[in-house]
Structure 1
Amino acid sequence: MEEKTKIRLTAAEMSTLWSQYINDTLAVCVGKHFLEKVEDEEVRPSIEKTLKIANTNLSTMQNIFKKEGFPIPIGFTDQDVNLQAPRLFSDTFVLMYFRQMSILAMAANSAALGMVTRLDVVTFHKRVLTDAVMMQDLTRELMLKQGTYIKPPYISVPDKVDFVKKQHFLAGFTGSRRALTSVEISHLFLNIQTNAIGKALITAFAQTVQDEEVKQYLVRGKQIAQKHIDIFSNYMKKEDLPAPMSWDSSITDSTTSVFSDKLIMFHVSAMIAAGIGNYGAAMAASPRRDIGLKYASLIPEISLYAEDGANIMIKHGWLEEPPQADDRDQLIKN
């Protein structure tokens, strides 16, 4: 009987492993900077745990790649981080950053488990998912203990179960509007929070980046993030609901380069991709027309921003190609 690990990797398995490898090399670079500068001894174990997980993942994936004769991606190396640079983020922000990254890891590996079939790859993604859940618990508990965890708003418990009786439930442009549902509030809160974290990261990157074109790109991203924060916050404020806090004060005044421009551009691109996914999910979960269409109108803006970022990365030779299907037409020509 053929050993299951000798079965060829599917396109989905190549994709999930390749993406995870690139992301873990980035996590190692970022984690090394955080570990070098951490001051809060309660935060240190979270950074050490993240680095250990990322390095274990890389080792496991390298073994799979070698068995398959699959070229090991370059991703990011020690050349992409300057450990001698001054501290760039507060320890409170580091915790929030890791919490956000664990959310993305949970989503990515849940999706991966729905596509992969080879036993060793399934086992790998199960472990990564378990580690992501563990990191989410670890960071949440510490932030709750330190009083830095920002909870979504509270609303009143319904008096009874009810059903929608009028089309007014879907309205949003004319006449009176119904109150936001708990689902709509949840997505608005999440998208304010992710934009706030993204804006803080981009601001810090813009302070330290080397290339002027990249700097201007980041400044534009900061403006887009603030615009989206204001839009989503206005929906909350009209319902007398609190919006999440800004993280801008968690950045130091350092202008010394910490991360390479290549790493910064990739990190921003990954955040944009996650944001587009969040907006799509929010649009599908928001029955009120004005909210759903607002998400729909914002997606092209950030998609265009993502395309401009990809063009900058291509121009500088920073965009590593993912595995691709054979170009049969080209093979025939050759």
Structure 2
Amino acid sequence: MEDKTNIRLTAAEMSSLWAQFINDTLAVCVNTYFLEKVEDEEVRPIIESTLNVAKSNISVMSEMFKKENFPIPVGFSDEDVHHQASRLFSDTFVLMYLRQMSILAMAASGAALGLVTRSDIVTFHKNVLKEGVNLQDRTRELMLKQGTYIRPPYISIPDKVDFVEKQQFLAGFFGDKRALTSVEITHLFINVQTNSIGKVLMMGFAQTAKNEEVKQFLLRGKKIAQKHIELFSKTLTRNDIPAPMSWDSAVTDSTSNVFSDKLVMFHVSAMIAAGIGNYGMAMAASPRRDIGLKYASLIPEISLYAEDGANIMIKHGWMEEPPQADDHEKLAKS
């Protein structure tokens, strides 16, 4: 019987495995540190499980890469985390951070499953998705138990089904503005939360970064995140919708170096990319013109910030290249 796995990797399969490998090596570094510093015995097993899943994924992917004669990515290693460093984040924030990482894992694996075709790669990404859902369930349940889970806002249940009859539904700058839709509220809420998590991470990373250029980049990112939090929160509160609380107190006063600047820059860049994607989805889902244009005006700002981060990584030799297509014109000239 023909071995259905003996098929060349597509570009989509290469990119999904490559990205997953890099992210899992980062997850090993971060969760190893979290595990060494955790004090809450209810949070500890969740960190242990997340760490074990990342290690298992790396083992599976390494075998896939060897089978395909695909160079195993460098990613991150024990050299990128300083185990003797002091505690940097509270256990409550670690739990919230892991919940956010589970959301990103579910999104990435879901997108991959829509593109990969080889049976072994499909099975792998299904398992990544399953573990992402499991992590989401465990973090949500514990946060609900500990009273730290912030639910999205409540609104009244509609009396009846309605259809839009006037262009006023799209208005937002002049005249009466309609109330926010449940979809618009959801995206505003999510973007306040993700910026809050990003702000806390950059606060902690800036305190402990070694390179001054990296430190200034992170402080700039913290200001951008704070500005966006205020913009989205103001939009909610002006419409009598509560905004999520801040997590500024989640960072300790430690200044001892925890993670390498290379790891920090990659992590922040990955979260910026996810943020740009969130804004794009929110813009598409927000018919009210003022809200859609608010997102549209913010995307260039964070895109330029992301480009500056990429330039720092290139300058220091920290940016690992993803798989690329052959440059046939260059090959012909050589």
* TM-score past 0.5 threshold: yes
Instruction: Letter of the 1:136 partner, please give it.
Output: Q
1:250 aligns with 2:250: yes
Structure 2 partner of 1:122: 122
Report the Cα distance in structure 2 between the residues aligned to 1:9 and 1:168, rounded to whole angstroms. Answer: 50
Instruction: Letter of the 1:243 partner, please give it.
Output: A
Structure 2 partner of 1:324: 324
Matches within 5 A, 1:269-280: 269-280=269-280
The alpha-carbon deviation at position 2 of structure 1 amounts to 3.0
Structure 2 partner of 1:146: 146
Structure 2 partner of 1:284: 284
Q: How many residues align?
A: 334
Report the Cα distance in structure 2 between the residues aligned to 1:207 and 1:176, rounded to whole angstroms. Answer: 45
The alpha-carbon deviation at position 333 of structure 1 amounts to 1.1
Runs of at least 5 residues in structure 2 that lack an aligned partner in the other structure:
none
Structure 1 partner of 2:235: 235
Report the Cα distance in structure 2 between the residues aligned to 1:215 and 1:52, rounded to whole angstroms. Answer: 31
Report the Cα distance in structure 1 between the residues aligned to 2:53 and 2:140, rounded to whole angstroms. Answer: 18
1:146-196, Cα deviation, whole Å (9 max, x unpaired): 000000111111111111111000000101100000000000000000000
Report the Cα distance in structure 2 between the residues aligned to 1:183 and 1:68, rounded to whole angstroms. Answer: 44
The alpha-carbon deviation at position 233 of structure 1 amounts to 0.4
When normalised by structure 1's length, the TM-score is 0.99
1:218 aligns with 2:215: no
Matches within 5 A, 1:54-133: 54-133=54-133
Local SS of the residue matching 1:278: helix
1:112-156, Cα deviation, whole Å (9 max, x unpaired): 000000000000000000000000000000000000000011111
Structure 2 partner of 1:164: 164
The alpha-carbon deviation at position 239 of structure 1 amounts to 1.2
Report the Cα distance in structure 1 between the residues aligned to 2:283 and 2:194, rounded to whole angstroms. Answer: 16
Report the Cα distance in structure 2 between the residues aligned to 1:260 and 1:223, rounded to whole angstroms. Answer: 22
Local SS of the residue matching 1:26: helix
Local SS of the residue matching 1:6: coil
The alpha-carbon deviation at position 5 of structure 1 amounts to 1.2
Instruction: Letter of the 1:156 partner, please give it.
Output: S
Report the Cα distance in structure 1 between the residues aligned to 2:133 and 2:53, rounded to whole angstroms. Answer: 12
Structure 2 partner of 1:180: 180
1:308 aligns with 2:298: no
Aligned residues: CA RMSD: 0.5
Report the Cα distance in structure 2 between the residues aligned to 1:243 and 1:275, rounded to whole angstroms. Answer: 18
1:39-80, Cα deviation, whole Å (9 max, x unpaired): 000000000000010000000000000000000000000000
Instruction: Letter of the 1:106 partner, please give it.
Output: M
1:49 aligns with 2:52: no
1:5 aligns with 2:5: yes
Report the Cα distance in structure 1 between the residues aligned to 2:59 and 2:142, rounded to whole angstroms. Answer: 29
Instruction: Letter of the 1:193 partner, please give it.
Output: Q
Local SS of the residue matching 2:174: coil
Instruction: Letter of the 1:286 partner, please give it.
Output: S
Structure 1: which 4+ aligned runs deviate by more than 3 Å? Answer: none
Structure 2 partner of 1:25: 25
Local SS of the residue matching 1:4: coil
Report the Cα distance in structure 1 between the residues aligned to 2:220 and 2:86, rounded to whole angstroms. Answer: 25
Instruction: Letter of the 2:39 partner, please give it.
Output: E
When normalised by structure 2's length, the TM-score is 0.99
